[in-house]
Structure 1
Amino acid sequence: MPHIWIECSRNVAAEPEARALKQAVYAAALETGIFPVGGIRLRFQVIEDYIVGDGDPTNGFVHIVLRIGHGRDLDTRRKAADHVFEKVVALLTPLRDRAPLAVAFEMQEMSAELNYKFNNLHEHIERRRNAA
């Protein structure tokens, strides 16, 4: 973990800040120090069909959901969420200053009982690191 979903409206997708968002969120997640590299999954999707606010076509959005495994205390989760969101805000502020933009971010904790995994990424990443 984490699994990260980033969506943005078509009208902001080509902006330099939006193009840099995937790497910035990935780096911020690693910087928290609580997520293993092999657990990170990040998806970035441009949404073609949307309505934002009053429907003005210049209104844009970025929506980020960061889902994490169960077991970290609230303070740890809050510090990680604050760190990632601060990086998002720093990156997107120039875009927000140029155009109407709604940014939403949420960290969610997955169920401890109903969370299944079938994964060998950790072993492969460790082998690649040791071979380098």
Structure 2
Amino acid sequence: MPHAWIEYSKNIANEAEVGSLGQCVHDAMMETGIFPLAGIRVRINRIDDYLVADCKPENAFVHLAIRIGEGRDMETKTAAADLIFERLSAHLKPLADRTPLAVAFEMQEIRGPHSYKMNNLHQHLAAN
């Protein structure tokens, strides 16, 4: 963990900011200093069918959801979420200056014993 899901509306698929959005989120997650590299996953999904606000075709959206493992205090989680949203917002500002854009972000903690993992990336990263 953490795992990130980025969804964006089809009408901004060819914008430069969207093309580099995954790397922006990955870098921000690393910059927090609280997530292990081998646990980071970023998924990027274009949403072809959507309605935004008054349904005008130029209206666009980006939604970022990050799920993290439990065990961090509220101050640490808030600082990480603030940093990630700051980086996301700064990255998308030029796009927002050109087009109607709704940006949303949420960070959720996965609790409990029902979070299963099998991950050998830690060993592969250590070996390289």
Short-chain TM bin: over 0.9
**Residues 82-101 of structure 1 correspond to what in structure 2 (within 5 A)?**
82-101=82-101
SS in 1 for 2:91: helix
Give the match for residue 74 of structure 1: 74
Give the match for residue 28 of structure 1: 28
After superposition, the C-alpha distances for 1:18-61 in whole angstroms (9 at most, x for unaligned) are 11111011001001000000000110111111111111111000
Give the distance between the partners of 2:5 and 2:20, measured in 1 at CA. 15
Q: TM-score, normalised by structure 1?
A: 0.94
**Residues 99-110 of structure 1 correspond to what in structure 2 (within 5 A)?**
99-110=99-110
After superposition, the C-alpha distances for 1:82-132 in whole angstroms (9 at most, x for unaligned) are 00100011011111111100000000000122111111111111111xxxx
How many positions carry a matched residue from both structures? 128
Q: TM-score, normalised by structure 2?
A: 0.97
List runs of 5+ in structure 2 lacking aligned partners. Answer: none
Give the match for residue 64 of structure 2: 64
Does the alignment pair 1:119 with 2:119?
yes
Give the match for residue 19 of structure 1: 19
Corresponding letter in the other structure for 1:99:
T
Corresponding letter in the other structure for 2:37:
V
Asked whether the equivalents of residues 5 and 44 of structure 1 are also in contact (C-alpha less than 8 Å), the reply is yes
Identity of aligned residues (%): 55
**Please, what is the CA RMSD of the aligned residues?**
0.7
Does the alignment pair 1:45 with 2:45?
yes
List runs of 5+ in structure 1 lacking aligned partners. Answer: none
Give the distance between the partners of 1:126 and 1:69, measured in 2 at CA. 22
